[in-house]
Amino acid sequence: MHTSLLSAASQSPVAQASAAYACPPAPPPSNLVATLADGAELHRFDVSSPAFERDVLALRSAVYQRPAAECRDHFDDTALHYVLYDHGTPIYALRSNLASAGPIECEEMYPADFVARFRHCLSSSGRLVRNPGQPSGRRRTAAFLAAAFSDLSTFGARMDIANAIAKLLPYYREQGMMRLRVPTFRHPTWNTVSHILVLLLNPDLPGTINAHLDRVPNPLSPSDLGPICAPIQIQRYA
């Protein structure tokens, strides 16, 4: 998402694998961002942290069924990486790139004038993976994403841009994402037809992520984007 919040190759709302994540639990890094209601801890770090290879790449490897070395790209180098730990065991991992810090994945596929207009407050999050050996649910996924986006907002993000295949659009609508009224494109990595979506980080807007989101200063609303932004119409993609 660009990979989206979900891998376009995924067959489920959160990419996962049948084999259990075999890496033993290790103490999470000391950069605690938030503690969720269930006691799980959200941590943020960059690629220089040992947790990037130990937890992020190991989770991706388990989910994508590829060697860890094949589960990273140059966007990782400038990203903020979020991992949710439950008693030291990594449950989720998410990558977020700030457009203000440099190019984002699939940027060449997005409307150039739109990206230029909102670059100062635009983020691009993806490579969301879940530990296949741990229980989860949509509510916990939403709480994790909301906590990560709340932290991302402290770096200036007010909108996250993503893309998704058609069958996952109902899930993204549930999260609170909207589509851009622009043509679809063929994803350069996954070779799938992708719709361009945005999530406005605004707790006054609907969606499971915004329902868990902390108050964000000066949030965007759909009217700020203009007619290019529209609700996802589920019946078109059922």
Which residues, at least 6 apart from 51, have a Cβ–Cβ distance to it below 8 Å? 28, 29, 43, 45, 81, 83
pLDDT average, residue stretch 29-40: 89
pLDDT average, residue stretch 206-220: 95
- Residue 15, pLDDT above cutoff 90: no
- Residue 223, pLDDT above cutoff 50: yes
In the chain, count H helices and then E strands: 7, 10
Question: According to the model, what pLDDT value does residue 229 have?
Answer: 87
- Of 11-25, 35-49, 198-212, where does mean pLDDT reach its minimum? 11-25
Domains of the chain: total: 1
pLDDT digits (tens, 9 = 90+) for 58-90: 999 999 999 999 999 999 999 999 999 999 999
- Residue 25, pLDDT above cutoff 90: no
User: Are 127 and 106 a contacting pair, CB within 8 Å?
Assistant: no
Residue 47: CB atoms within 10 Å:
15
Tokens of residue 116, six digits: 């230029």
What is the C-alpha separation between 121 and 8, in angstroms, rounded? 25
Q: Is there a domain that residue 163 lies in?
A: yes
- Residue 17, pLDDT above cutoff 60: no
Q: Is there a domain that residue 22 lies in?
A: no
Can you give the residue range of the structural domain that contains 133?
A: 32-236
Q: Which has more pLDDT, 26 or 161?
A: 161
Q: How confident is the model at residue 5 (pLDDT cuts 50, 70, 90)?
A: very low
Question: According to the model, what pLDDT value does residue 232 have?
Answer: 81
Question: According to the model, what pLDDT value does residue 236 have?
Answer: 43
Residue linked to tokens 């990594």: 90
Question: According to the model, what pLDDT value does residue 46 have?
Answer: 94
Q: Is there a domain that residue 197 lies in?
A: yes
**What CATH number did the domain enclosing 230 receive?**
3.40.630.30
Question: According to the model, what pLDDT value does residue 85 have?
Answer: 95
Tell me the H-state helices in 24-168. Answer: 50-51, 58-64, 112-118, 138-153
Q: How many angstroms separate the Cα of 58 from the Cα of each of 71, 73, 83, 89, 90? A: 9, 14, 12, 12, 10
Question: According to the model, what pLDDT value does residue 189 have?
Answer: 84
What is the C-alpha separation between 230 and 189, in angstroms, rounded? 26
pLDDT average, residue stretch 113-136: 94
Question: According to the model, what pLDDT value does residue 190 have?
Answer: 85
Question: According to the model, what pLDDT value does residue 3 have?
Answer: 41
**Beta-strand relationship, 122-130 and 229-230:** unpaired
Question: According to the model, what pLDDT value does residue 27 have?
Answer: 53
Q: How many angstroms separate the Cα of 181 from the Cα of each of 20, 90, 188, 195, 225? A: 40, 37, 20, 9, 11
Q: Is there a domain that residue 18 lies in?
A: no
Mean pLDDT of the chain: 87
Q: How confident is the model at residue 29 (pLDDT cuts 50, 70, 90)?
A: low
Q: Is there a domain that residue 26 lies in?
A: no
Residue linked to tokens 């770096």: 155
Give me the torsion for CA of 74, 76, 80, 86, rounded to 10°: 180
Q: Is there a domain that residue 25 lies in?
A: no
Structure pTM? 0.87
pLDDT average, residue stretch 9-26: 47
- Of 15-19, 60-64, 106-110, 157-161, where does mean pLDDT reach its minimum? 15-19
Q: Is there a domain that residue 17 lies in?
A: no
Beta bridge partners of 238: none
Q: Is there a domain that residue 3 lies in?
A: no
- Of 70-74, 129-133, 169-173, 232-236, where does mean pLDDT reach its minimum? 232-236
